[in-house]
Structure 1
Amino acid sequence: MTHFGILCPAAIGHLNPMFVLGRELKRRGHRVTLFHIPDVQSKVDKAGLEFWKIGEAEFSPGTLEVMYKQLGELSGMAALNFTIDWLEKETKMLFGEAPTAISKAGIEALLVDQVTIGGGTIADFLKIPFITVCNALLINREPGVPPYFTNWEYNTAWLSTLRNRAGNFLLNQLSQKIWKLVADQRRQWNLANYTCRDDAGGKLAQICQLPAEFDFPRVRLPKTFHYTGPLQDPSGLEPLSLSPMPFPFEKLNGKPLIYAALGTLQNRKQEIFQMIAEASMELDVQLVISLGQPQIKELDFNLAGSPVVVPYAPQQQLISQSVLTITHGGMNAVLGALSSGVPLVAIPITNEQPGIASRIAYTGAGEFLPLSRLNVTSLQEIIKRVLTEYSYKQNALRLKEAIVRAGGVNYAADIVEKAIYTRKPILFDQIN
């Protein structure tokens, strides 16, 4: 038995897949403890894992909801900068408190979210192994792949490669303050400097919850990189639910169902929900909208066409009954739709969502509409196209099959166990 520790951001989209992996490891006889700020504790009571509180001075109770609200009102580069600032603050806290907490808890190995950039440094300082888990879109960079925060098309032409390099340079500048923290801390702890940013992923294994078929072609991933497919609970239920409220399934009228949601972070854009409702009202469908805001007690606005609107919904249950999912491009919603063979229309708002949206279009499983071109007419045209052209459904079903083949959480847990037991790099062709 191994006692695993988890380090990851406070966002539900990162916590849910990490906890699915944690619960599978617990099922196999291991202990798993999440180290996080006070606000997260109430959100993981039902996850069945252990919790160790850190960061109470910097992130007092109520801080997380304020952050969610601020981020939910932003988009584009403003939201990306806000996210980077939050990660910087979190990194400082982790360096200050996590090593002591992890040691006291008796942690023997760490599961580190790829965007928790300081996690590997903490593991190195404590001389314990760690596995990197890509819960969002992988951030591994190479010249042929557009930066994750862009919706640029994949193209092998030299101009596209030049464009990608420029985008990655911009990202390097934006995130430089976090990497400086890491470099300074490694020097303070007498650890070897990273030769490049990809070194932060570690040498044992990197797990990514995409199927390989949903990514752009790659030529420079480390040999220890594994596409496992979604880290989803076999029941289809998310371990961290924000709301106990029941969904009014009795309101479903039997018409083809469109499920629309903007996640739990970028969801304060009421005008987008209004456009989704107006674009769908003339179609022979029923629209369900989840606002992703369980704190709402009463809905104080009406949307065109009288869709079923709820503060929060059992997402996977509704997606599995849908003919189309409209999303902001969050990784868990997209993988949830593809796991059910449901095509998508994405309206990316910020962070990695544009990169996920571009992959939806690249794979033919749907289309996306940038905020700069979003209006009712253009949205309605895309919705009609994805609903009526069967190729989108075919490609969504193709990716569903790829997800099944990828192995999911069982495959991911096999990789983790083998890496920790052997303390050797686990190559992508060694787990079969």
Structure 2
Amino acid sequence: MTRVLIATTPAPGHIVSMLEVARELARRGHEVRWYTGRAFREQVERTGARFEPMSAEIDFGGRSREEAFPGHAGLTGIASFTVGVRDIFYRTAPRQTDDLLAVLERFPADCVLADDMCYGACFASERTGLPLAWLNNSVYILGSRDTAPLGGGLLPSSSPLGRVRNALLRFVGDQVVMRNLRREADRARARAGLGRLRTGAMENIARPPSLYLMGTVPSFEFPRSDLLPGTHFVGGLLGLPPEEFEPPTWWEELHDGRPVVLITQGTTANDVGRLLVPAVRALAGQDLLVVVTTGSGLDVDRLRPLPDNVRLERFVPYHHLLPHVDVMVTNGGYNGVNAALAQGVPLVAAPGSEENPDVAARVEWAGAGVVLKRRAVSQAALRDAVSTVLNDERYRRRARELSREHRSLDAPRRAAELIESMADSQGQISTGGLPR
């Protein structure tokens, strides 16, 4: 039996992919404890893991970003990205470290499994020497000579000129755009009792893990000649299906022969006017069934009066809805995009801030949908993009190829096996044996 300590940022996108892995580890007889926000206790315990609560002052679970961090309201672009990373991930990490070290005093874990931006878990691993595994919550976050830095939504390039571009953008980002974030990482590490890492921005916050689990398929991530050793693409980790599901009153309309378009902006975006309003207006009156899921308590009155072909819900489980969807219109949330592709659903991506442009770039690179640039989210552009994806078979064919790749992998089983191997190898090293 292996004792696994899981640690996750208290936000839905950081929880959902971990659920299947935690359940599989518990099913295999391992002792699993999971440190995160109180809003997720029921989901944690449903996996068979024991819940370990996060200190209240850093537990923003169950609230929108603007509710938890009022100063973030109205931020866009690089300011939204850098301030978000600073406040949500860096400044919370030292207290997370204290919490996790206290957990480890009463639960001597064999390894730590964390989402790849739960830096308190990284600090605790570094302080104790426990092996660390990351499970991604979005795109691969480590730098490469073959890719541009995160945030710009640029396609990869490994040509000589492309690598010059990538190096130049890294230099500018490190020395100018991300300079304050680099300093913030140094301060966070110092508060956790750790020394400075002399690496670039976004990588000077934590040492790389022994194991980096990517909950997607290789065809949806940019190729790199310098991928971190220990990186494994295990397949889609899409969360646990609900134990009960009561379909909405309009559910039978999914079978009336009209193409079904799902419009969603995930669980954290709160600007209903950016994507939902123009998309609803763009598709009004067309021979389509349009399903809008808000994900959170948005100002949905701005969508009213609803056109006759639009159905509005806060949440419909993807496990039930996506098999009926012909096109998903999204702001580029990673989990939603992967869920769609796992079901063979092509996409229209209109990326917002944070890493959404980078997710959208992968949609474009994989050929699984149409991407609208951030300044092109108009009714006409959305209408044309949806029509293109519905009528050009190339996008559906590519999405179905990615779906078959997802189905060929048993993600929870493979993730659990790799975590077991990491813990077992570390145990043999610590007792003088040889790793397998």
What TM-score does the superposition give when structure 1 sets the normalisation length? Answer: 0.86
User: Does 2:318 match 1:287?
Assistant: no
1:48 deviation in Å? 3.9
Unaligned runs of 5+ in 2: 429-436
In structure 1, what is the equivalent of residue 431 of structure 2?
Answer: none
Cα drift, residue 388 of structure 1: 0.7
> Is residue 280–residue 303 contact of structure 2 (8 Å, CA) maintained in 1?
no
2:333 alignment counterpart: 330
Distance 1:226 1:163 in 2: 29
Aligned to 2:89: 87
Number of the residue aligned with 2:13: 13
Where does residue 114 of structure 1 map in the other structure? 116
- Match of residue 126, structure 1, among 97, 121, 128: 128
Contact 2:94 2:191 survives alignment (8 Å): no
User: 1:341 and 1:272 mapped to 2: Cα distance?
Assistant: 23
Cα pair 2:211 2:422 within 8 Å, conserved: yes
Task: Give 3-state SS (helix, strand or coil) of 1:34's partner.
Answer: strand
User: CA contact under 8 A between 2:346 and 2:399: conserved in structure 1?
Assistant: yes
- Cα 1:172–1:424, aligned 2, differ >3 Å: closer, same or farther? farther
For residue 76 of structure 1, what is the aligned residue in structure 2? 77
CA offset at residue 88 of structure 1? 2.2
Is the alpha carbon distance of 1:409 and 1:336 closer, same or farther for their aligned partners in structure 2, counting shifts above 3 Å?
same
- The aligned amino acid for 2:118 is T
Equivalent residue number for residue 433 of structure 2: none
CA distance change for structure 1 residues 334 and 385 in 2, over 3 Å: closer, same or farther?
same
CA gap 1:165/1:89 in 2 versus in 1, 3 angstroms: closer
Post-superposition offset of 1:341 = 0.9
The structural deviation recorded for 1:81 is 3.0
Partner residue, 2:166:
161
Secondary structure class of the residue paired with 2:326: strand
1:61 Cα deviation (Å)?
8.3
Deviation string for 1:276-322 (max 9, x for gaps)? 11222253211100010269999983334540001111123211211
Q: Could you tell me how far apart the structure 2 residues matched to 1:355 and 1:297 are?
A: 28
Note if contact 1:72-1:265 (Cα within 8 Å) is conserved in structure 2.
Answer: no
Alignment size in residue pairs: 417
Q: Does structure 1 retain, via aligned residues, the 8 Å contact 2:185–2:205?
A: no
**How far does the alpha carbon of each residue in 1:378-423 deviate from its partner, in whole angstroms, 9 at most, with x for none?**
1111111111111101111111122233442211111111111112
Q: Which residue of 1 aligns with 2:432?
A: none
- Report percent identity of matched pairs: 21
Q: 1:19 to 1:379 in 2, by over 3 A?
A: same
Residue by residue over 1:98-128, the C-alpha shift from the partner in whole angstroms, topping out at 9 and shown as x without a partner, is 2112322333321021112342221132232
Q: 1:175 to 1:18 in 2, by over 3 A?
A: farther
Residue of 92, 99, 107 corresponding to 2:101: 99
For 1:175, give the aligned amino acid: L
Alpha-carbon RMSD:
3.1
Paired AA for residue 15 in structure 1: I
Q: 1:402 to 1:59 in 2, by over 3 A?
A: closer
Range moving further from structure 2, 273-282 or 347-356: 273-282
Aligned to 1:352: 355
Hey, what does 1:237 align to over in structure 2? 241
**Contact map agreement 1:38 1:60 (CA 8 A) in 2:** no
The reply to whether residue 260 of structure 1 matches residue 281 of structure 2 is no
Counterpart pick for 1:339 among 338, 342, 363: 342
User: For 2:362 and 2:58, how far apart are their aligned partners in 1?
Assistant: 37
Matching residue of 2:323: 320
2:94 counterpart SS class: helix
Whole-Å Cα distance in 1 between the matches of residues 379 and 149 of structure 2? 29
Q: Tell me the distance in 1 between the aligned counterparts of 2:301 and 2:43.
A: 22
* Aligned twin of 2:212: 206
Aligned to 2:35: 35
Higher relative contact order (CA closer than 8 Å, sequence separation 6+):
1
* Deviation readout 1:318-344 (Å, 9 max, x if unpaired): 112111111111111111111111100
Q: Do 2:136 and 2:213's aligned partners in 1 also have CA atoms closer than 8 Å? A: yes
> Quick one: distance in 2 between partners of 1:348 and 1:49?
35
Q: Which residue is equivalent to 2:387?
A: 384
Write out per-residue CA displacement over residues 66-105 of structure 1, whole angstroms, 9 at most, x where no aligned residue: 2288768654224313421221232132133221123223
Q: Structure 1: which 5+ residue stretches go unaligned?
A: 426-432
Q: Is the 1:328–1:346 contact (alpha carbons within 8 Å) kept by the matching residues of 2?
A: yes
